[in-house]
Chain A
Amino acid sequence: MSGETLALSQNEHNVNYLDYQGKHKGIWGWLLSTDHKRIGILYMITVLSFFAVGVTLGFLIRLELLTPQGTIVGPQAYNEFFTVHGIIMIFIVVIPVIPSVFGNFFLPIMLGAKDVAFPRLNLLSWYLYIIGGAMILLSLVLPGGAADTGWTFYIPYSVRTGTNMIFTLAAVFIIGFSSILTGLNFLTTIHRMRAPGMGWFKMPLFAWSLYATSWIQVIVTPIVGITLLMVIVERVFHVGIFDPTLGGDPLLFQHMFWMYSHPAVYIIIVPAMGVISEVVPVFSQRTIFGYKFIAYSSLGIAIFGSLVWAHHMFATGMSNTAEFVFSLLTFLVAIPSAIKVFNWTATLYKGSIKLEPPLLYALAFIFLFSIGGLTGIIQGALNVDLYLTDTYFIVGHIHYVVFGGTGFGLFAALHYWLPKMFGRMYNKKVAKVAFWITFVGFNILYFPFLILGWLGMPRRSYHYLPQYQVYHVIATVGSWILVTGLLIMFINLLVSIIKGKKVTEENIWGGETLEWKVATPPTVENFEEIPQVVEGPYEYKQNEYELEEEVK
């Protein structure tokens, strides 16, 4: 009898995580699950829903800018639109998306573990995340109106505005804790839960990128937490910290805000770079070029990236010493990113390349991120930055980095891993059509921003002078094309999850990392037996055997 129960329970743990019936049934089996895979899916549903809200706001912003003023809304609504668009996209979409969806789902599997180090803490992170996210959405409909300060919350304006600032800041504060807990969880998992034999340099590069990202999250997120708390204290108790009318220093706020928010750019981009480092070798069917250089450059980005925050403040009249140091470091932080780009490109060399949808998105990432990085270099030069800062050039730059980078990295990850997660394949032809529409729409939308910036168009402007209209019209048309592409892409993926062609083979794309050695979809416990790792993640030994045979 007891033998039978044991056999049954073992059997239950071998069912795939989607069909598993645990202690809780139905929806509670998801909302109370501590399975890293189910939590990954919860994140996927919520983050992508917020992404849809963010895209809608972005679409409305572009629609408003079709004419110099008053196309669809008034200035107050417009200011709230771009503020909430920024807050949603930065704090609740691109910062968490890749670590919390794909990191949660695949990091333990890639390391040969059954779950993350702290599964309950992991679920708590998700609850903190949705509470914060829900508060942002609520701020849109509460009396007083959504924040209208821009996502940067610059003081003194943010202590003067009558909108729901405290509510918004509290929401960002809570989301910050979700981010810290996830980072802590991943760090412990990577340090303590790697399968036997998996040394640091046998880890997949996606795990390396999450390792670097998690350190940044744990170290710098508390800074923005405390800063936002100080703003709340200032507003409620009138203690002079940042507000000049109370004897505070508004520049102190900018320093503290960017001390987090610049490294946050790397929290945003490094996990996407990790995705690209997985996709490129798999679809080239060969070993990655310069594994250690890519791994170390993630750490290089994490370290240098934490020391360049004041390049957002070149126009604030800092000391010459500060301008000198921050400009120099800004130029140097470009180097590890450049190293990655060169190594990815070299990985294509002499590969056997299959241009499947994930690789298309990955190559688009390299192209768009290069434009994003290079436009960043342009603004690293002090005298050029004093001209370009706070214009559309910076808006173009951030969208090339964050959307062209992390957005396209996300799309690559979705097309790469979704079939594994659900055991169903999307329509590849439709995916390719969606890719080209999205890619073309993206460039028609954002490239004119760089031109507008060079022509002196200030950012965050409801109204603009007639000489800028032609570029705004082109960009708005681009937004329609981009949204069309996104709709086709996501409908295709959604349809595939519900009724796509069933996939049962373990190794869908010919990858050599551990997620391609477990069942499709993975079982509840991931592995029946913890694997013994003997080789690196992208060895492609077969290539060498074949070569040897040819020589014979």
Chain B
Amino acid sequence: MLADASNFVQPVDNTFIIIVSICVFFLILITALMITFVIKYNSKKNKKAKNVHGNVPLEVTWTVVPVILVLYMFYLGWTGYKHEVSPPKNSMVVNVYAQMWRWSYKYSNGVESDTLFVPINKPVKVLLHSRDVDHSFYIPAFRIKKDVIPNRTNFEWFLPTRLGTYDVFCAEYCGLRHSYMYSAVVVLPQDKFDQWMAKQAASDSDTPADTTSM
């Protein structure tokens, strides 16, 4: 149901599934124990309670085992994060501009667009700029998100792995039309992308010529 369109999908989904599995295990364990005890030791059947003040080995176990498990979860999240903040040197750089309430993109050759076109299987590094308040650049199909904060250039990178058009949301509340602040990212084959870029560059170079002739 959820698109799988970047190199970060597998690591994020795997970490999520591993942690959720551990969590579900503990939730079922606790719930099953509660239900069992409530039935087994119901006062109708079990008229006399027995005092059990505690059990130190048990306390140590249910402290140490969760500590080991959470350290493992931490490790998974941390290695995934390290990858997300280490863009390859050969990444294509795109500047992303956020403002109330639209996204715009500017490529290094000066081409501007309100939809993000990227070639497949080529790393893209986006530099995030805000023109007013906080926003957050969010592409669910790529499993990435980064806040866009004024006076601060955050970055993010991804490797698109599947052709198609995917939603770009603003995830940080930014006022009246926050929920309408959509855009799209379009993943194209390299040749189609080059064609698009060439066409854009041509029309862009026309525009300034037109204005000077005016």
Contacts and interface: CB of A to CB of B under 8 A. Distances in A.
Interface in B15-67: 15-16, 19-20, 23, 26-27, 30-31, 33-34, 37-38, 41-43, 46-55, 58-59, 62-63, 66-67
Interface string A243-270: 0110001110000000000000000000
Interface string A35-60: 00000000000000000000000000
Interface residue SS majority, chain A:
helix
Given A348-B38, A363-B38, A381-B80, A458 B48 contact: no
Contacts of B34: 345, 348, 363, 366-367
Q: Is the interface on chain B under 10, 10 to 19, 20 to 34, or 35 or more residues?
A: 35 or more
A455 to B, nearest CB: 6
Interface string A282-312: 0011110111110000000000000000000
A154 B175 CA distance: 11
Contact of B73 (A355, A377, A465, A547): A377
A76 interface: yes
B77 interface: yes
Contact of A315 (B12, B30, B73, B145): B145
B92 interface: no
B197 interface: no
A66 to B, nearest CB: 15
A458 B136 CA distance: 10
B70 A349 contact: no
Given A378-B19, A384-B16, A456 B167 contact: yes
Interface in B100-156: 132-134, 136, 138, 140-141, 143-147, 149-152, 154-155
Contacts of A245: 150
Contacts of A390: 136, 138, 145, 171-172
Interface in A352-408: 352-355, 363, 366-367, 370-371, 374-375, 377-378, 380-387, 389-391
Given A317-B149, A374-B23, 7 more contacts: A79-B173, A156-B133, A328-B74, A331-B71, A370-B30, A374-B26, A382-B78
Interface of B: 1-2, 8, 11-12, 15-16, 19-20, 23, 26-27, 30-31, 33-34, 37-38, 41-43, 46-55, 58-59, 62-63, 66-67, 70-71, 73-74, 76-78, 80-85, 132-134, 136, 138, 140-141, 143-147, 149-152, 154-155, 167, 169-180
Interface of A: 75-76, 79, 148-150, 154, 156-157, 160-161, 244-245, 249-251, 284-287, 289-293, 315-317, 320, 323-324, 327-328, 331-332, 334-335, 338-339, 341-343, 345-346, 348-355, 363, 366-367, 370-371, 374-375, 377-378, 380-387, 389-391, 454-456, 458-465, 539-540, 543-544, 546-547
